[in-house]
Each structure stands twice: as structure tokens, then as C-alpha cells.
Amino acid sequence: MAHRLRLVPDDLNIPFFRHRWPFFIWSALVLVATVVMVAINGMNFGIDFKGGTVIEVQMPGPADLAAMRSTVDGLGLGASELQTAGSDRDVLIRLEASEDQDEQRARVDQVKEALNAAFGEGIVYKRQEFVGPKVSGELLMNGVWAVLISVAGVLVYLWFRFEWQYGVGALAALIHDVSTGVGVYAFTGMEFNLTSIAALLMIVGYSLNDTVVIYDRVRENLRRYKAMPIEQLLDRSINETMARTLATSITTLLALLALFVLGGPVIRDFTVIMIVGVIVGIYSTIYIAAPVLYYLNLRASSPAPAKAGPATAKG
């Protein structure tokens, strides 16, 4: 006889709401640390947002980064960065931005000539990208607006579909999740580029999906258990949807882990942020989005059950 795999027991009853304050404090500390880190150290903006030139090079054998860096720095082209890109033969070379595209192309030619002279003719130049400072500034602002507009759209959608308290709760969870993703970039020094904006938008979508599932169950239980205290009702709703939440999250995490291991360096940072986003999305739905409903007095805005009391004799 086949048995259905159960991720959680049917009678799961974890008192999430009772332990909310330690998680509130932890979330506040992470948010403050992120703001401080970004204010002090800033973000490691990639070429998309700060402009410049990127040259991807494949060397004939294992790359000697120290020798290559010395060769590029000796050209006097300004600030430059070199790092491996996956295999020990692939190297990314970043040069600082220039207002003149002709000058940028001349710099690339200088780098190629110097590397060919120093390391031989077997070098393969796989790609080169130019982004001017003006274009990079516009890309950064467009990315910020994309995130803000998506969050505003979520707030309006939930406001019309549910009640205003649900919209505020989902917005709080989204702000928490996006700021956590930005914090990961700030603390690890990973490059923040257009792909990073896509990762943050995907975090918004995933967080919203998980939040709406639980909010739907909260709304159903408000009609079903009219006299149940709101704290107990929120816990019940989270526990009832936990199997679905875990099934979705575990499936997504398995796919992301496969991408992290097999996808190569090009999408590795993107995958890391998505893994963090999935985990943080579950956390924020339980300890941010749901408790906000309690503090916004959701029960008071719902239809109150008729109170039946004992008959009182008159006369």
C-alpha cells in the first residue's frame, strides 16, 4: 500500500506567534546593520552602474593574476581590477570608465597588445563591454524605480484583494526581504549589477507568493472561527499551510542548489541571492507579515460574530 510522503504532521501546532519578539529584534538589527554597512562602505557596483570596460580573457594555460595585473597596471590606464571567472584560465579585466568611447576602445587595444606581448599569441578574448558613466547612472535609477514600482503594485493589489491591513503586512515583509538581499551584497562585497536587480525582483515575487497563500488561509479562518483569538488563528493558519510552504520552498531550493553547483560563475551570485530570498521569504511571512495583521487590529475590522448571552428575566 502506497504511503503519501508527509513533510509535516497533519496536527502540526507550533506556537509561532508566542516567539515573535526575538525575531522582531533580530530583523531590526539586520536592517540597521545593512543601512550602516551601505552608508559606510557603499555597494560594489558593477560596470552596469558605475561605467567602465570589461574584457573577458581566456589564457592558454593557468592564469598568473599577479603578472597580468602588473602588465595592465603598467599601461597607466587608471584603476583596474582582475579576477578569475570560473576556470583557472578565464580572467575578467575591469578598467575605469571614460567619457569617450573611442578612448575606451583604444584602452582595450592597448591591453590586448600588452597581454599578447607578455604571454604569447594564444590568448582568446571572449568578450568586451563598454558602459559610459551617464548610461550607468540611468541604469541604476531605472533599477531602483523598477523595485519601487513593483512593491507599490503589490501594495495596491493586496489592498483591493483583501483589506488594507494585508497590504501593509505584505509591504513590511517585502521591505524586509529586499533590504536583506541588499545587505547580503553589502556584507559579502558581491558585485551589484543589472542581474542583481532581477534577483531582488524575483525575491519580491517569491515573498509575495508565500505571503498570499497564508493570507488566503487567514481570511478563510476568520470566517470559520469567528470567536477564536487572533493570535491563535494566525498560528493555526501558518501551521495549516506549512506543508505547502515547505514543499514549494524545498523544490525551489533544490533547483537553485543545482544552479549554484553546475551553473558556473556567471549566475552564481544571482543564485546565492535567490537562495537567501527563498529562506528569508518563509521567515518574513511567518514573523513579519502575519504579526503585522495582529498589530493592525485585523479582527476588529472583520465582521463581528453575534454575541448570545443568557436570557434575563424582567419584572
Output the pLDDT for position 127. 82
What is the pTM assigned to this prediction?
A: 0.71
Instruction: Please report, in tens digits, the pLDDT of each residue of the chain (315 residues total).
Output: 444 556 666 677 788 888 888 888 888 898 898 889 888 888 887 776 777 788 888 888 888 888 888 888 888 877 677 777 767 788 888 887 766 667 778 888 888 888 888 887 788 888 887 766 555 667 677 777 877 887 787 777 777 777 788 888 888 888 898 889 999 998 888 888 778 888 888 888 888 888 888 888 888 888 888 888 888 888 898 888 888 888 888 888 999 999 888 876 667 888 899 999 899 988 888 888 888 888 887 764 454 444 444 433 333
Contacts of 180 by beta carbon, 8 Å cutoff, 6+ apart: 30, 34, 276, 280
Q: Using DSSP bridges, classify how beta strands 52-58 and 87-95 pair: parallel, antiparallel or unpaired.
A: antiparallel
> Are 37 and 50 spatial neighbours (Cβ–Cβ below 8 Å)?
no
Please provide the CATH number assigned to the domain covering 52-131.
3.30.70.3400
Instruction: Write out the three cell numbers for 69.
Output: 595585473
Output the pLDDT for position 304. 45
Alpha-carbon distance of 196 to 198, in angstroms, equals: 5
**How do the domains of the chain map onto residue ranges?**
17-43+136-301, 52-131
Output the pLDDT for position 137. 65
Query: CB count, 10 Å around CB of 253?
Result: 15
The CATH class that applies to domain 17-43+136-301 reads mainly alpha
Alpha-carbon distance of 83 to 136, in angstroms, equals: 22
> Are 104 and 75 spatial neighbours (Cβ–Cβ below 8 Å)?
no
| Interaxial angle between packed helices 242-262 and 194-224, expressed in degrees from 0 to 180 and rounded to the nearest 10 | 170
Q: Classify the phi-psi angles of 78: left when phi > 0, otherwise alpha if psi is within -120 to 50, otherwise beta.
A: left
Output the pLDDT for position 146. 78
Quick one: which of 193, 74, 92, 93 has its CA closest to 139?
193
Quick one: which of 284, 62, 69, 271 has its CA closest to 178?
284
Output the pLDDT for position 168. 84
Quick one: which of 35, 7, 19 has its CA closest to 287?
19
Number of H helices, E strands in the chain: 12, 4
